[in-house]
Structure 1
Amino acid sequence: MLYPAIENIQHLLNNGIGPTVAIANIAEYTSGGEEQHDADILISLVNIEEVRLAREPRYVVKIEDELYPKNPAVHLDLSLLFTAYGAGYENNIRNLQDVIAFFQKQPVFRAIDITELANDGIERLTLELVTLSFEQLQQLWSMLGGKYQPSVLYKMRMLTIDSREEQPVIAIREVETILKRRN
């Protein structure tokens, strides 16, 4: 579910803006450890947060006449770093401008509008620009082990991972209670 969500954003950007977009770990990319791409923008997953407020306490789900055990769904926010890389400083800034403009025009992507999202079981993706202070930016790039490149951080909100067991459980039809007297 994580990779298909990021891959859908990559495809949307590749179809919506001029610069080419690839998914790559910018930390390894800048150190030469990862296969080089002919991309102008690199998408890197830099953080995953669980959204606990949205937790649903259902432990079974009814499908037709069968009950299936299920743990509560996990709702995630992903921090995606879009880095302009390798096209020259001026072009890198223009490429980042294209990414920001794209998400400004359309910050929400819904499965009813985009078949690929529905095919991957994703109901909706919302992208929100995250502003980092100089200190946070320095910490991020230090953590990535590279020199600063023109980049922008977005939070992709509410990716839901939900699964259920394949074997149905038997429903409780009757409860018998026996009361004992204490002496």
Structure 2
Amino acid sequence: MIAETLICLTDEINEFFRTKLRVTEDKVVISPIVNLEGKPAIVGENKIFVTLLNIEKETVIRPGLAANSINNRTSNNAALNINLYVMAGAYFSSANYAEGLKLLSLVISFLQQKGTFTKDNTTRLPNEIDKLIFEMESPGLDKLNNIWAMLGARYVPSVIYKVRMLTFDSSVTTEYRPQIGSLSNDTNA
């Protein structure tokens, strides 16, 4: 469900960019910032990247947030509610720095406008997810410095969102099928 959430998010933002900016290429990609060797992992330049920063267990269920575990599902003790911390950043060359800031601003605008992904307003929302709520986080400079140090990367303009909430329920199972293309690339490495 985590991958499906990030895929849905990037697809929605790319569609927003196609409509708003009349671009044909995807400007938003899911990617770690650095690879295991500590080198940039984002393929190409001039992209907005989306990366997972953290997974947090939701310990307090507020009214309106528990749709995943209540609506159309049998609730049981095995259900686990989690929140994701997701970063969107502008990975742009210095010559295109201003364009990166504009696209990052559009990401913020899009998530401010839409805020909540539901079955009614997001056709790409996976069946096992009833609702996603995006809340902008504002870490102070000290925390932000720690985040970038933890990532092992140099700072780029970015924004962090808390995504509420995914419910992992033993009654809901999905099949995982790895992409054949990714397997063939791994064997050539």
Q: TM bucket by the smaller chain?
A: 0.7 to 0.9
> 1: distance between equivalents of 2:43 and 2:36?
7
Q: 1:6 aligns to what?
A: 6
SS in structure 2 opposite 1:115?
A: coil
SS in structure 2 opposite 1:8?
A: helix
Q: 1:80 offset after TM fit, Å?
A: 0.4
Q: What are the ranges of 5 or more consecutive residues in structure 2 without an aligned counterpart? A: 67-72, 174-189
Letter in 1 for 2:13: L
Q: 2:149 aligns to what?
A: 142
SS in structure 1 opposite 2:100?
A: helix
> 2: distance between equivalents of 1:48 and 1:99?
21
How do 1:31-180 and structure 2 match up within 5 A? 31-32=38-39, 34=41, 36-37=43-44, 40-54=47-61, 71-87=77-93, 88-117=96-125, 119-164=126-171
Q: Tell me which structure has the larger Cα radius of gyration.
A: 1
What is the alpha-carbon root mean square deviation over aligned residues?
2.9
> 2: distance between equivalents of 1:26 and 1:35?
6
Report the count of equivalent residues.
Answer: 155
Q: TM-score, normalized by length of structure 2?
A: 0.72
CA deviations 1:120-145 (Å, max 9, x no partner) are 31100010110011101100000011
> 2: distance between equivalents of 1:89 and 1:115?
33
SS in structure 1 opposite 2:89?
A: strand
Cα gap change, 1:157/1:145 in structure 2, threshold over 3 Å: closer, same or farther? same
Is the Cα–Cα contact under 8 Å of residues 70 and 165 in structure 1 kept in the other structure? no
Is the Cα–Cα contact under 8 Å of residues 10 and 21 in structure 1 kept in the other structure? yes
Is the Cα–Cα contact under 8 Å of residues 82 and 165 in structure 2 kept in the other structure? yes
Larger relative strand fraction: 1
Q: 1:160 offset after TM fit, Å?
A: 1.2
> 2: distance between equivalents of 1:5 and 1:51?
17
The percent of aligned pairs where both chains have the same amino acid is 29
Q: Are residues 1:16 and 2:16 paired?
A: yes
Q: What are the ranges of 5 or more consecutive residues in structure 1 without an aligned counterpart? A: 57-62, 167-183
Q: TM-score, normalized by length of structure 1?
A: 0.74
Letter in 2 for 1:158: M
